[in-house]
Structure 1
């Protein structure tokens, strides 16, 4: 049985649609950061932040495979039961009425925010086909020598990253990562600025 404070934190976590989407995906099978990012069309940085928060709250667990990729999985089953009680015959004190009115306003605002977010996601769906075609073109051009370089590019397409973030995202050792980054920098595809790697301005715009 959860304490009231635990329930409050859990509701805060589940109040975020992207965290609910991540939980739903991990309920099907364990996934690593890049996989979650690609499946849900979220930036790797946002995915990592959501995963770290839920891992701290012990909602998620993690392990590394032989390729040093970090997989996340649901560490507990989540069963949320809400009982609605009709309050026509309940007399509320002025303080309780204020609290009830605030809860009602917050729920209405939350519903509007979720609807707006859902509409935004629907408007983004038409981009999926173009994104897939661009990836297919890159693969067909034979620009990248191996899967590791492609993983690096996919990560940097979402956001600029430091070496440690790239290491976790790509599941490569530091030596393997530096070697591939060196190749991509020689090709002029990746550049380094203030310890952060990014797609070259010449290529990325």
Structure 2
């Protein structure tokens, strides 16, 4: 699903509360309505949107009552900085990657009692929480360094660019490689103006291009990092 669309869906407070409630346990419509103080009709509408988005799913119990639970394991990340805004969605597939180091319940040794096994799992869970916190700290440090380097790049652009259009082009290409059409759209300039400045920057050794699917993709020229 488009992560930006998912972000819009989760922008509703009641839908976020429903997800939070279902993250604890499966619930019936009447339970959700009672816990949130929202009418069943509105709850059913919210559940329909969440189900379409693939966030939840429903099942029917022995009394033919429909209940809902979280359907997927995913991570939605929003990054906002002075130079970037990104929304990414990661589906977590338990069938790929490394297997969990925590022993599965069915593999519990017969000689190990339940309390010891529970404490082992609890210890592993705490270890994972610590690693999550360390990862979050590292992401913050990377974001701070990214912003600092972008600040320095912008100072440098002002010194090497010959005109305002070159400034804007170099800034766009710092973020990612892109096409002439995308640059024209983002900068609202005529293709002839963009193309002339791209060629000039390429001749001066600042940028280069590669051809993918019969399209020219422009990017900042790759070069070795010199020691300061």
Q: Which protein shows a greater Rg?
A: 2
After TM superposition, the score normalised by the length of structure 2 is 0.42
After TM superposition, the score normalised by the length of structure 1 is 0.46
Relative to its length, the structure with more helix (as a share) is: 1
